[in-house]
Structure 1
Amino acid sequence: MKIIDAMGKACPVPVVLAKKAAAELALEGGEIQVLVDNQPACDNLKNMAEGNGYTAEEEMLHSGSYRVTIKVPAKAQEQLMIQSVKEGIPIRKKDSGLVVVVSKNYMGQGSEELGKILIKGFLFSLTQLETPPKAVLFFNSGVLLTVEGANTLDDLLELEKAGTQIKICGTCADYYSVKSTLGVGQIVNMMAITEQMASAGSVINI
C-alpha cells in the first residue's frame, strides 16, 4: 500500500501524485491512500480513479482532513493498452503538435489573484502530460511568468528539459523591461509566433 500525504498541496498536485502512484501499481495492482485537506481534492481524486477504472472511497478523519483510498486492479495498464490498440487509439505520440499560447500572467476572468494560482497549476499540469506540448508561447504580461524568481519558472524549465520550445515575444519583454531577467526560453519576434501557431496541430489560448 502507498500512502501519499497531500495535505496543503494545491490542485492538481494530489491528483498528479495519485496518478503516478497508480502507474507504479498498474501491473500488479494495489491500494493507494491519499491524505488531503479539502473536499474538492477528494472529488478530483475520485473522478480520476473512476475515469481510469479504479475504485475510490472517501473517509473524513477529522474536520478538514480526509483520506481517499484508491484501489488499482491488477494489470490495469496492460488492459488499457490492449483496449487502446483494439479501438485504434494511439498509445503515445512522440510529437503532440500542441502549441500553448499564454497571453497574460494569470488564467481566466474575474479574480486576478485566483488567476495567478490557476496559471501556476496549469503550467505544472503541462509538465505531467505523457507527451509535452511542442511549444509554449508567451506574449503581453505572460512574459512575466518566464523571469527569474517567478513561481512558474521551475515548471517551464521542466518543460524545456522535456523538449518543449519556450518562446517569448521580444517586443513584450522590452515593454515590461524583463529581457535581462528571463530565466527560460528564447526571444522571438511576432512573425515567429504567428508561424508557430499557424503550423500547430492544435492550439490552446490562455
Structure 2
Amino acid sequence: MASIVDTRGKPCPQPVILTRKVLLKFQAATTIVDNEISRHNVTRMAKKNGFTVRAEEREDGIYLHIHARKDPASSSIKKIPDPAQTVSPGDTVLSVQDEFMGSGDKDLGRILIRGFFHTLAESIDDPSLIPDKIVFYNVGVKLVSEDSPILSDLKMLEDQGVDILSCGICIGHFGLKDRIGVGIISNMYDIAEILLSAGKVINL
C-alpha cells in the first residue's frame, strides 16, 4: 500500500519535498493536494523521475497516486535524482524578480527589460549571450503571462533550448495560473537547487 502524503494547506515547495522523501524510501505514494499548482508541481517531479501518476479528484482534495514505472525486467527505480543534477556545471542562470530592469524610474525600467530580452532573442547565433535557464519569481512572473511585452522574445529563446521556469506560488499570488504564455510552472525547491548549483547567476 502506498504511503499517504497529506499536503493540503502546505505552501510551495512542501508538497514536492514531502512527496520526494516518501518516494525515495517507498517507491510509491498517494499525495493529497488542494490546488492545481501543487498538483502540477508534484506530477511534474514524479514523471520527470520515471514514475506514473494517476490523479483522482475528490471532494476533500486531489489524490495523486504515484508508482514506480517498471522496466522490461520488472525492476523499479532505485533513486530519484536531485533537481540540481539537471543543472550542468557552468550553466548560466538568469534570475528575474521584477517586470522592469534596474531601480529608479519604472517606466524606463520596462523599456530597458524589453530591450534586454529582445537583444537576447536576436542574438541566438551567439551562445555567449544566451543563458541556459531563466527563472522568474515575485513580480517577475508577470513577464511570462500571455500579455507580456516580451512574450515573443521568450518564446524564441525557449525554442532555442533555454529553460524558462516560473515560481508556482508567485503565479498563484498574482492570479496568473491560466494565463501563462511560455515556460513551465515550477516550485521553490527546484528554483533553489537551480540557483545554488549554477555556474553563474545573473540577477536583473
Structure 2 Cα separation of the partners of residues 112 and 105 of structure 1:
9
Greater relative contact order (Cα < 8 A, sep 6+):
2
- Write the distance in 1 (CA, Å) between the matches of 2:193 and 2:98: 20
Q: Which runs of 5+ in 2 are unaligned?
A: 1-88
Deviations 1:74-124 (A, max 9, x none): xxxxxxxxxxxxxxxxxxxxx961100000000111110100000111111
Q: Offset at 1:126?
A: 2.0
Q: Which runs of 5+ in 1 are unaligned?
A: 1-94
Counterpart of 1:146 in structure 2 is 144
Rounded Cα–Cα distance in structure 1 between residues aligned with 2:196 and 2:118? 25
For the pair shown, the structure with the greater C-alpha radius of gyration is 1
Secondary structure of the structure 2 residue equivalent to 1:181: coil
Q: CA shift at 1:190, angstroms?
A: 0.6
| C-alpha contact (below 8 Å) 1:96/1:133 kept by paired residues | no
Match of 1:26 in 2: none
Total equivalences in the alignment: 113
CA distance in 1, matches of 2:181, 2:93: 20
Match of 2:110 among 102, 108, 116: 116
Please give the TM-score of this superposition, normalised by the length of structure 2. 0.53
Superposed CA deviations along residues 135-167 of structure 1, whole A, max 9, x for unmatched, are 000001100011112110001000100100000
Q: Which has the larger displacement, 142-151 or 124-133? A: 124-133
State the one-letter code of the partner of 2:134.
V
**Runs of at least 4 residues of structure 1 off by over 6 A?**
none
Q: Is the 8 A contact 1:102 1:142 kept in 2?
A: yes
Root mean square deviation of aligned Cα? 1.7
SS in 1 for 2:178: helix
Instruction: Select which of 144, 155, 158 maps to 1:157.
Output: 155
Specify the code of the residue in structure 2 equivalent to 1:203. Answer: V
